[in-house]
Amino acid sequence: MLINSIKINDQEFVELKDIIYQNSGIMFAENKKYLLENRLSKRLSDLNFTTFKDYIYYLKYDIKKRQELDTLINLVTINETYFLRERGQLDYLISHIVPELIKAGKRSIKIWSAPCSTGEEPYSISILLKNAGLFDKANIEIIATDINSEVVALAKKGEYRQASFRGVPADFMKNFDVQGQSYFIKEELKRHVRFNTGNITTPSIVSMIGKVDVIFCRNVLIYFDMDGKQRTIKNFHNMLTDPGYLCLGHSETLNKISDEFVMKNAGTCIIYLKKQ
Amino acid sequence: MGVKYEIKNGVLTAHINPEHDLEDIQEVAKIVENHGEVILIRVDMHRCSYIQSRFLAGLVSVKKLAMVRKITIELLNVNDHITQVLQSTNLQKLFVLKDDYSSYPLEALCEKFYDTEKAAIVSEYLSANYDDDIKNKLIEIIHAGNPLLVEYALLTMGRAQDYDNIEIYRKELEANEASVKAAAILVLGWVGDTQSKERLYSYLTSKEINVPEAAAASIALLSDDTDSEKLAKYLRDEDARIRVVAIYALSLINDTKAFEYLAEAIKEEKEEQVRIQLAKKIALFKDERAGRILLELLDDGSIPLREAAASGLARKNNGEFTDILVDKVADNDNWVGFFAAKSLAGIEDERVIKKLEGFYDSVEQNVKLAIIEVLGKCKGVDAAFLLSKIEDENEDIRKEALNSLSLMHAPVALTAAMKLYNTDNSWLVRYKAVNIILEQKPLGYDTLLRARLKDETNKYILEHIIGEIGE
- What is the residue type of B374? V
DSSP secondary structure letters along A221-236: GGGS-HHHHHHHHHHH
* Residue B368: CB atoms within 10 Å: 26
Confidence label for A211 from pLDDT (cuts 50, 70 and 90)? very high
Check whether residue A19 and residue A117 sit in a common domain.
Answer: no
Check whether residue B1 and residue B74 sit in a common domain.
Answer: yes
Question: Is residue A1 situated within a structural domain?
Answer: no
> How far, in Å, CA of B348 to CA of B345, rounded?
9
Conformation bin of residue A48: beta by default, left when phi > 0, alpha when psi is -120 to 50: left
| Nearest residue, CB atoms, A61 vs list B151, B180, B366 | B366
Check whether residue B143 and residue B153 sit in a common domain.
Answer: yes
**B311 at interface of A, judged by CB pairs closer than 8 A:** yes
**Distance of alpha carbon B420 from its chain centroid, rounded?**
29
**Contact call for A223 and B435, based on CB within 8 A:** no
Angle at A272 (CA atoms; ends A269, A275), nearest 5 degrees: 155
End-of-domain residue from the set B381, B403, B429: B381
| CATH number where B263 lies | 1.25.10.10
Question: What b/e readout covers B115-148, taking b as 16+ CB neighbours within 10 angstroms?
Answer: ebebbbebbebbbeebeeebbebbeebbeeebbb
Q: Which of A18, A61, A77 to mutate to test the interface with B (most CBs of B within 10 A)?
A: A61
Taking 3-state DSSP, the helix, strand and coil percentages for chain A, each rounded to the nearest 5, stand at 50, 20, 30
Which of chain A's residues have a Cβ under 8 Å away from the Cβ of B183?
1
| A40-94 confidence digits (pLDDT tens) | 999 999 999 999 999 999 999 999 999 999 889 888 876 678 999 989 999 999 9
* Cross-strand pairs, A215: A112, A246
List, in order, residues 6 or more apart from A190 with CB less than 8 Å away. Answer: A123, A126, A158
Per-position pLDDT tens, chain B of length 471: 588 999 999 999 999 988 888 888 888 888 888 888 999 999 999 988 778 888 888 888 888 888 888 888 899 998 877 887 887 777 877 888 888 999 999 999 999 998 888 899 999 999 999 999 999 999 999 999 999 999 999 999 999 999 999 999 999 999 999 999 999 999 999 999 999 999 999 999 998 989 999 999 999 999 999 999 999 999 999 999 999 999 999 999 999 999 999 999 999 999 999 999 999 999 999 998 999 999 999 999 999 999 999 999 988 867 788 999 999 999 999 999 999 999 999 888 899 999 999 999 999 999 999 999 999 998 878 899 999 999 999 999 999 999 999 999 999 999 999 999 999 999 999 999 999 999 999 999 999 999 998 899 998 999 889 878 766
Whole domain around residue B32: which residue ranges? Answer: 1-103
Whole domain around residue A58: which residue ranges? Answer: 10-77
| Nearest residue, CB atoms, B432 vs list A11, A34, A61 | A11
Check whether residue A148 and residue A38 sit in a common domain.
Answer: no
Check whether residue B119 and residue B209 sit in a common domain.
Answer: yes
* Cross-strand pairs, A263: A272
Question: Is residue A2 situated within a structural domain?
Answer: no
**Distance of alpha carbon B1 from its chain centroid, rounded?**
42
Report how far apart, in Å, the C-alpha atoms of B141 and of each of A166, B113, B123 are: 17, 11, 13
Question: Is residue B164 situated within a structural domain?
Answer: yes
Check whether residue B116 and residue B218 sit in a common domain.
Answer: yes
**What 3-state class would DSSP assign to A267?**
coil
* Cross-strand pairs, B7: B12
End-of-domain residue from the set B273, B288, B316: B316
| Nearest residue, CB atoms, B396 vs list A58, A60, A173 | A60
Q: What is the 3-state secondary structure (H, E, C) of A80-108?
A: CCCCCCCHHHHHHHHHHHHHHHHHCCCCE
Cβ atoms A106, A245 nearer than 8 A:
no
> How far, in Å, CA of B94 to CA of A241, rounded?
49
Check whether residue A32 and residue A56 sit in a common domain.
Answer: yes
**Contact call for B148 and A166, based on CB within 8 A:** yes
Cα of A250 to nearest chain B Cα, Å: 10
